Chain A
Amino acid sequence: MTLVSTSFALTALTDDRRRHESLAELFVGTDGLGPSRLASLVRRSPLTISQTLELLAGGESSPVPTTDRRATAWDELVQRMRTALAGGLPVAQARWWLSGDPGWDARFGDDDDAPAALCVVGSLAALAGPRVAIVGTRSASAAGLAMARELGFMLSRAGISVVSGLARGIDGAAHRGATSDPTASGTPVGVLGTGTGVAYPREHHGLQAIVAERGLLLSEYDPGRGPRPEAFPRRNRIVAQLAQAVVVVESGTKGGSLLTVNEATLRSRPVLAVPNNPVVRSAAGTNALLREDDGAPPLALPCHGVADVLAVLDYQVVVDGERIDDRLSPDGPTHTVLRAIGWDRRATSALSTESGLSLRETALALAWLEEQRWIEHRSGRWSRIP
């Protein structure tokens, strides 16, 4: 798509940043256009994004519509822009980071598939330091969740920003770990497939708020955009663009995390994968990443712990092995029961049988462990909180 007219006039308002942000938000939020179209428009044009948007809003140029549907979308956009400008007030609900802004080139530079504008909540300083993405399946094993949490925790204490998609499962666990120590110096970065004003899944509402407060939330979409299936693969590419390395904790043979791996490989970012027991179906994809395939080297390096990640980054940090843990140590029956749970999901009856304790004693131990947040109950079974 090209602009028909090359003539343009910068009005006195070009330096009005909020106005450009508003125009970007309107563009992204128009059905049939969206962030990808804005990105391609800006990429192919010699102009900056602000100039492009001004031009559109001024009605002095319009791209050649290729289909009726697009023509309608353009008409709608121009209409919305005019209405907004007529009011004289910026309508942007959020802050936008526009291509060409300070720090933009350092992150996206000459990337072929860079976004044109990102909606931002929190501080962009979160992107200044080293960044590692932790990704994985939405339905992970308890061990996978524990690993993600542990990695998130350790990396963020080592001063590394954990980048993830705030999805259910591994993503959420990684950020829970990264935010569990308020004194950790690594700032969390969440890249959303929805607008920044929407939490998906809804139960991550609280976590998303914490990430925004301590670090940064990014989204290509207008703040109110709900979840749409096509948005999540696009989100994964931004995760890969922002991270210096990608760790896949657990992934099946299909799924979004493997898309992130592709995007990372395309950009020569190192990929690490956590090896897992072959019987764990949800880890078949990560195990495959670690296998040689017909003589071709494995796509990923094994990640046994935070040290492997730091080695890849060539990042020299002394990680102290101690945890900040205010939980009381279990002893006696509580210790027996916690050991019996291990890193699996276990039913109460099985725990009683295995620990040799009576049901009453087991119940008491479970109540104490739950209170101390050593374990949590989900749908009939107990699992250990890392």
Chain B
Amino acid sequence: MAVVVEVHASDGVPSFTIVGQPDGACREARDRVRAALLSSGYAWPQRRLTVNLAPASIPKIGAGLDLAIAIGVLVANGQLPQDRVTGRAFLGELGLDGSVRRVPGIVSLVDDLLAGSRPPEVVVPMNGMAEASLLGRGVLRAAVTLGGVVNALHGLGPWPDPLPAAVCEALLPTLDLADVRGQAFGRLALEVAAAGGHHLLFSGPPGSGKTMLAARLATVLPDLTREEGVEVLRIHSAAGQPVPLDRLPARPPFRAPHHTASAAALLGGGSSSIRPGELSCAHRGVLFLDELGEFAPFVLDSLRQPLEEGSICIARAKATVVLPARPLVVAATNPCPCGWWGVVAGELPGAPTCRCSDALRARYVRRLAGPLLDRFDVRVLVSPPDPDELLGLASGESSSAVAQRVAAVRGVSRERGVATNAELRGNELRRWAPLSGPAQKVVESRLRVGTLTARGLDRIRRVARTLADLNGADIESPLDVETVALALELRRPVLPDARSGAAA
């Protein structure tokens, strides 16, 4: 939202007051503005100055209004004609020497300023220009020093050309799915999750390759579109993340918060200024929750609703903000605190035996169980790789090959009117994911025995649709029995029974 800076100068005891709910950093603008004006060679008016930041009802945060306040003082003092500043917006923090500095969230701020029907010319700090110009619209002017800005406004000098931005090469993806040997089932799960936008849960003993697989999920996602790139950039800019300055992010973000993360760190929050959390930073990308069982249970619970809605509403005493939050979640967990539960000698010779007590195991699983676990459409038990495959020369299929198939499936999903198959709902499922005769039978017998619920069936159909799409099936083709069986296999419970925790 644009803030109007009004400056009133009157006779009286010289003073300088800022009103309109400035926070600490904003109130300190008094001293920065005064020093910057003086060191830029302007006189400080010996009058009673009142600065109002309108609308006064909304708290103002940070130093981004410094430049606007300084310009306002100059206008009030008659050192700059009023008509030179109409139709212009100013953004930037002032140094004591009059230099103009970048503030966080430039993309969002400029985007909002340019939103109206008659967008103003926006004066942006020089080192924020690259970021702002990624929006690709509006008239932007670069500001290096306060003096330079005033001169340019007077028409005494030109606006400086934006410097060629420092090139910040996005790190080349060093991870590749080709590094993963064997693990056909885990790979399939990864591909399905990426193609259909299905949240994914890996379970298995330590060293089985859960983390290795999960960390490569982002590498098989398609590039971001321009709109998605802007969304991601806005969030990361607001979160104060280092963003590539020369271009829109092309690759989906990958965020892997540690399991000690607080609810505020994951969801976003803060008392004065609200910062996006990991959930929003992973928007349009991948949120990787490693050691899911070690996260605080209430933190996990709090993820459920934003994941369902694709956005998170953070309400604090001073402000309420709705942030986008549509990441693909991949989680990895041990089946019990020691991790070795259920591993049999045939799977991994010499594997230690689980010595967790029944009660301990049950408590561990109960933390995970519940509504969040239900959000994972794809759940796979990862077994330690076969030694032959591990030592074999053949490397797995590369990320780029998988990414092509993933992109193709997403294209088919868009033809159905959704971004991913995971978004297909009731009627759409009936239309786009009909069951073939034999598949119907497989499903029916399970519904009758009660091992499958109606909601479970919907999830199976979505995953089966993605599997069929990956297989190159027709957009409306009925799901065949093998596909449905495989979808069932991809959604088996992979943790010990929460009730008993016992092996049997």
Binding site for B on A (CB under 8 A): 138-142, 145, 168-169, 172-173, 201-203, 279, 281, 344-350, 352-353, 359-364, 366-367, 371, 377-381
Contact = CB atoms under 8 A, between A and B. Distances in A.
A344 B442 CA distance: 25
Interface string B481-503: 11111101100111111011011
Contacts of B481: 364, 367
B504 A169 contact: yes
Contacts of A352: 184-185
29 contacts: A138-B504, A139-B503, A168-B500, A168-B502, A172-B504, A173-B504, A201-B500, A203-B499, A281-B353, A348-B185, A350-B383, A353-B386, A359-B184, A359-B489, A360-B486, A363-B486, A363-B489, A364-B481, A364-B482, A364-B486, A366-B489, A367-B484, A367-B488, A367-B489, A371-B442, A379-B496, A380-B493, A381-B344, A381-B381
Q: Is the interface of B mostly helix, strand, loop or mixed?
A: loop
A367 B483 CA distance: 11
A140 B342 contact: no
B98 to A, nearest CB: 65
B493 to A, nearest CB: 6
B366 to A, nearest CB: 14
A42 B175 CA distance: 77
How many of chain B's residues touch chain A, expressed as a range? 35 or more
A364 B382 CA distance: 20
A352 B483 CA distance: 15
Contacts of B503: 139-141
B345 interface: yes
B483 A347 contact: no
Contacts of B494: 379-380
A34 B143 CA distance: 89
A361 B489 CA distance: 11
B445 interface: yes
A14 to B, nearest CB: 47
A141 B185 CA distance: 25
Contacts of B484: 367
B442 A367 contact: yes
Given A139-B504, A371-B445, A348 B495 contact: no
Contacts of B442: 367, 371
Interface string B344-355: 111100000100
Contacts of A203: 499-500
A352 B342 CA distance: 19
B342 A380 contact: yes
B72 interface: no
B502 A139 contact: yes
Contacts of A279: 345
The 3 lowest CB-CB distance pairs between A and B, nearest first, are A380-B381, A349-B185, A367-B485
A334 B494 CA distance: 22
Interface string B444-478: 01100000000000000000000000000000000
Given A201-B499, A364-B482, 7 more contacts: A169-B502, A349-B381, A350-B347, A350-B383, A352-B185, A367-B442, A379-B335
A380 B445 contact: no
B344 A139 contact: no
Contacts of B345: 279
A134 B497 CA distance: 25
Interface in B312-349: 335, 342, 344-347
B473 to A, nearest CB: 13
Among B203, B482, B496, find the residue whose CB has the most chain A CB atoms closer than 10 A. Answer: B482
Contacts of B382: 349
Contacts of A138: 502, 504
B492 A380 contact: yes
Contacts of A378: 497, 504
Contacts of B184: 349, 352-353, 359
A139 B358 contact: yes
A159 B345 CA distance: 38
Contacts of A379: 335, 342, 493-497
Contacts of B488: 363, 367
A174 to B, nearest CB: 12
A346 B344 CA distance: 8
A378 B203 CA distance: 13
A347 B383 contact: yes
A221 B371 CA distance: 38
B183 interface: yes
B375 to A, nearest CB: 18
Given A349-B383, A381-B381, A168 B342 contact: no
B407 to A, nearest CB: 22
A141 B344 CA distance: 10
B249 interface: no
Interface in B148-196: 182-186, 188
B335 A380 contact: yes
Contacts of B346: 344, 346, 350
A363 B445 contact: no
Nearest to B341: A379
B342 A348 contact: no
A201 B344 CA distance: 25
Contacts of B496: 379
Contacts of A169: 502, 504
Nearest to A350: B383
A169 B488 CA distance: 27
A380 B341 CA distance: 11
A359 B188 contact: yes
A139 B357 CA distance: 11
Nearest to A141: B503
Interface in B42-76: none
A201 B486 CA distance: 33
A168 B504 contact: yes
A367 B484 CA distance: 9
For B382, B484, B502, the residue with the greatest tally of chain A CB atoms inside 10 Å of its CB is B502
A350 to B, nearest CB: 6
Nearest to B483: A360
A377 B504 CA distance: 11
A315 to B, nearest CB: 29
A127 B485 CA distance: 47
Given A139-B358, A202-B499, A367-B488, A381 B504 contact: no
Nearest to A173: B504
B482 A360 contact: yes
Contact of A380 (B182, B482, B486, B495): B495
A141 B346 CA distance: 13
A293 B14 CA distance: 103
A353 to B, nearest CB: 6
Contact of A361 (B182, B183, B482, B492): B482
B502 A380 contact: no
Contacts of B344: 344-346, 381
Given A202-B499, A359-B184, A367-B442, A347 B482 contact: no
A378 B502 CA distance: 10
Contacts of A145: 504
A360 B485 contact: yes
Contacts of A362: 489
Contacts of B347: 346-347, 350
Given A279-B345, A363-B482, A378-B497, A348 B504 contact: no
A367 to B, nearest CB: 4
A345 B342 contact: yes
Nearest to B498: A379
Contacts of A140: 503-504
